[in-house]
Chains A and B, each alone.
Chain A
Amino acid sequence: MRSSGSLVIILSFFMALTVAIVPLPDWAVNLRPEAVTMMLIYWCLALPERVGVGIGWLVGLFMDVAKGALLGQYALSLTIVAWLTLKLHQRIRVFPPWQQALSVLILVGLGQIVILWVKGIIGQSPQSWTYWLPAVTSSILWPWFFPLMRRVRHYYKVS
């Protein structure tokens, strides 16, 4: 039971990582949702006792390698997002969808602020406001993403 649940969680993060690197047409590149961050927020809300800061850090490392970024940049950002989600999970869980989406906007945006900060320090700061669009698309997609993941979780009885 427990092991099969872990497999579902690992696979879901793998799918999110795939979404993060799948080639998109030029107009959509800046709209790519932060699938990995969304997945992490979902699992932190659903199973706060199993998925937390440690998993967030590990997934962040994979993300760093997949994206060819500075090693530790996504790890730091996802650690902080996971921590904050754990702090707030009891509140966010009972929010209506639109309020949840708003919280996701803030959480993903916060993760992006951390990355922006790191990039600024090493002198690669992005020059365009489109940098913030992924947070918006993530929160717009959240009301569909959350029920979908909940169905997946119930179907595979992950607990």
Chain B
Amino acid sequence: MIVLIIASVAMMSVDHRSQNLQFLRAAISIFVLPAQYLVNIPVEAGYWAGESLQSRGQLEDDNAQLKMQNTLLKTQLQKLNAIEAENQRLRQLLRSSKRVGEKILIGEVIAVDLDPFSRQLVLNKGIDADVFEGQPILDADGVMGQVVHVAAFNSIAMLITDPNHAIPIQVNRNGLRAIAVGTGNQQQLDIPNLPNNTDIKEGDLLITSGLGGRFPPGYPVARVTKVETNPAEAYARITAEPTAKLDRNREVLMVWPESRLNKPDLTQVPAEDSADGSPQKTPAQATTP
């Protein structure tokens, strides 16, 4: 009894301060995996039924809409290519380091409820897909969070709205740097420690600043919803709403930042993945320029 209590306390303190117990967590999670997939089956079945029972008219509508969207995006991409090239050229002129592509993989959210007082997700990619701790998670509209625990075949990601999460951001309009802290509320981020006279307005887009080296720079994070300035207080009270659909996503994008790809031990990762026929469910892989 006493031994076990001491063991638990020792484990908690080690786990809280360092990553040394990751292997233990990974080993145990293999046994937990069947429970997670069991729980996920009805949800999967629901989606499957929803998809296969759609009417023809609805599918046609969807198709038309997607085609239109695709055309629009392609048009925008043409411009982007030119800008990208120009950016590259200017960077060369400035002799600053070139930005190379980031590797992206699509992970699926396993419908599992974790602690209701934190905001976390279980994803179906783990060490087998080279997921690492601290890996950024995105969706089509913005940053969702980062991976906190990796196991053999799954991982746990913390959302940016978790009360323990903070993300370095920048106001897109003027480059003002700040930190966005989660509140536990799915629709709200706090931006503390900005003085009352800061140039920040409702509707400002906040993007990742890339400081801290965890999140790649330039991805949208949130939009400012409220700026309250009270002369009696030292700092303004600023709240923002995440642009990513944090509670409505089934699929997320997992990003390998360039710094990670440049490491010698990880250079062969993309080649290896495509070579072994990918045991995972179609890990759609792409590299953004």
Which residues of A approach B to under 8 Å, CB–CB?
14, 17-18, 21-24, 29-30, 32, 53-54, 57, 60-62, 64-73, 75-76, 79-80, 83, 118, 122-124, 126-128, 131
Contact across chains for B164 and A124 when beta carbons are under 8 A apart: yes
B9 surroundings in chain A (CB, below 8 A): 72, 76
Interface footprint category on B: 35 or more
Among the 9-residue stretches B23-31, B188-196, B205-213, B219-227, the one with 4 or more Cβ atoms under 8 Å from chain A is: B23-31
**Residues in B whose Cβ lies below 8 Å from that of A22:** 39, 112-113
Q: Do A79 and B113 have beta carbons less than 8 Å apart? A: no
- Complex contact B29–A65 (CB within 8 A): yes
Which of A21, A127, A128 gathers most chain B CB within 10 Å?
Answer: A21
Q: Is the CB of B11 within 8 A of A83?
A: no
Could you tell me which residues of chain B, from 107 to 142, have a CB within 8 Å of some CB in chain A?
111-118, 120, 122
Q: What sequence of 0s and 1s flags, for each residue 1-33 of chain B, a beta carbon within 8 Å of any chain A beta carbon?
A: 100110111111001100001001100110110
Q: Is the CB of A71 within 8 A of B25?
A: yes
Q: How far is the CA of A80 from the CA of B5 in the complex (A)?
A: 8
Q: Find chain B residues with CB under 8 A from A83 CB.
A: 1
A14 touches B35 (CB 8 A): yes
| CB pair A69 B1 closer than 8 Å | no
Most chain-A Cβ atoms within 10 A of its Cβ — which of B4, B7, B111, B184? B4
Q: Would A71 and B163 be within 8 Å (CB), given that A23-B39, A23-B43 are in contact? A: no
Chain A residue contacts of B25, Cβ below 8 A: 65, 71
Question: Of all chain B residues, which has the CB nearest A126?
Answer: B117
What 6 A-B pairs have minimum CB-CB distances, sorted nearest first? A72-B11, A76-B8, A72-B12, A126-B117, A71-B15, A72-B8
Q: Is the CB of A70 within 8 A of B32?
A: no
> Do A127 and B16 touch (CB < 8 A)?
no
Contact across chains for A65 and B184 when beta carbons are under 8 A apart: no
B34 nearest CB neighbor, chain A only: A14
With A53-B1, A68-B148, A83-B1 as known contacts, state yes or no: A21 contacts B12, CB within 8 Å: no
Max chain A Cβ within 10 angstroms of own Cβ: one of B31, B34, B120:
B31
Contact A66 B117 (CB under 8 A): no
- Of B31, B116, B117, B156, which is within 8 A of A62 by CB? B31
In the complex, whether B80 has a CB less than 8 A from a CB of chain A is no
Give Cα A106 to B65, complex, Å. 57
